[in-house]
Amino acid sequence: MMKDHEISIAARPRVSAIYIVLACLSLLLVAIATMLPTEIAGIPVYDEDGFIEDLTVLGYILCAALILILGGWTFARKKALGILTILLLLTARELNFHTRFTTMSITKTRFYFSADVPFVEKFAAILEPRRDCRRHFGLSHAAMAGSSSIA
């Protein structure tokens, strides 16, 4: 049973049409990407810093912008904050933020156990995601430490 403030997708044909168009465009882009040669005018398409990687960053930004434009700021803040956070992290990963500010990639286990990586970088890499999780998702220190007690 629907509540008064809920609107079914059938009652919003504009939104349904947008989803259908976005799905078709996504399929078209995948089809085009699979037919591309490995190089265009000497520029690698699939390599790191290639054409596909640049399009991926643009796609993540476009998705975040559509969430903000179609849903509005209140929707984005209350309902889609997790998706927006994931899109931001994926964008940062595609832009090589996992290696840009540190000695090596923070996604490798070797980063945390290597003597070549300064302690400050290791500490920042461990501390930063915990701080962001607490701030974005309202987690307490006890919840982040794995405690089963409820504050």
Phi first, then psi, for residue 91 (nearest 5°) are -65, -45
Domain residue limits, the chain: 10-95, 102-151
Per-residue pLDDT band at 93 (split at 50, 70, 90): confident
CA distance 77 to 80: 6
User: Does residue 90 carry a pLDDT above 50?
Assistant: yes
- Closest C-alpha among 64, 65, 70 to residue 89: 64
Q: Of 39-43, 70-74, 111-115, 147-151, which has the strongest mean pLDDT?
A: 70-74
Percent of the chain with pLDDT over 90: 6
Beta bridge partners of 39: 44
Q: How many Cβ atoms are within 10 Å of 64's Cβ, its own excluded?
A: 20
Answering whether pTM is above 0.85, one says no
- DSSP structure string for the chain: ---TT---GGG-HHHHHHHHHHHHHHHHHHHHHHHS-SEETTEESSSTTSHHHHHHHHHHHHHHHHHHHHHHHHHHHHTSHHHHHHHHHHHHHHTTHHHHSSSS-TTSHHHHH-TTS-HHHHHHHHHHHHHHHHHHH---HHHHTT-----
- pLDDT one-digit tens code per residue, 17-53: 778 888 888 899 888 877 777 777 777 766 777 777 8
Q: Mean pLDDT over residues 87-110, rounded? A: 82
User: Does residue 54 carry a pLDDT above 60?
Assistant: yes
Q: Is the dihedral of CA 120, 126, 132, 134 positive or negative?
A: negative
* Average pLDDT score over the chain: 74
CB-based burial label for 60 (10 Å; 0-12, 13-18, 19+)? buried
